Structure formats: C-alpha cells, structure tokens
Structure 1
Amino acid sequence: MRKSDEIEYLPTPEQIRETCREIQQGWSEHDWKHRATTTIQRVEWKVPGVKDHSGKR
C-alpha cells in the first residue's frame, strides 16, 4: 500500500477522552501525584535583532 493510499486517523475529542481515561486507570497513586505536580519549564526566548535595509538593528 502506498503512503498516499493510507487513511489518516483523526480521533474525536470523545475518543481521546476515553483513551485518556483508560490509560489513567493503570496509574498508581504515585503516578497521579507526580503528574498533578509536574510543571512545564518555561524558556525565555526573544526574537533576534534583524538589520533593516539602512544597516541599523
């Protein structure tokens, strides 16, 4: 089967919620506590300076 013949799988929001519930059923108390307190680290990023046609930054 060629790649172009494959059907793309796009789950509905309800299918995603149900699959998440099924996965979470296997979590231990430790897993729940860890996932509830895990934070995403933010990375500060600034757009680099760009010279315009006048040569200024």
Structure 2
Amino acid sequence: MFIQSQPADPAIHDKALRIANETLFIIRCLMREEEWGDYLREAYIIARRILEEKP
C-alpha cells in the first residue's frame, strides 16, 4: 500500500523522479510553464505508487 508521507526506497525514488521528468519532457509543450511543478508532483506520486506495488 502506498503511503505518501513515508520515505521511499532510494532506488524507487530515483526511478519515480526519472519517470516524472521524462514524461514532462514529452508533454511540456502542451502546458504552461507554471503547471510543470504541479505535473511533476502528480507524475512522481503515480510513478512511485506503481513502482511500490507488490507483484
């Protein structure tokens, strides 16, 4: 179960950040610059949730 207030495993944290940044690179031309931070936060949470799921 994903709990946002708990620290992430460093490897998962790095992967989630990389996923968020890579996806922002793809879609940033569709967004205003002010929205990039909000997008990164949400994309990080989604990526971390998926990476922390137990198989």
**TM-score, length of structure 1 as denominator length:** 0.33
For the pair shown, which has the larger CA radius of gyration, 1 or 2?
A: 1
**TM-score, length of structure 2 as denominator length:** 0.34
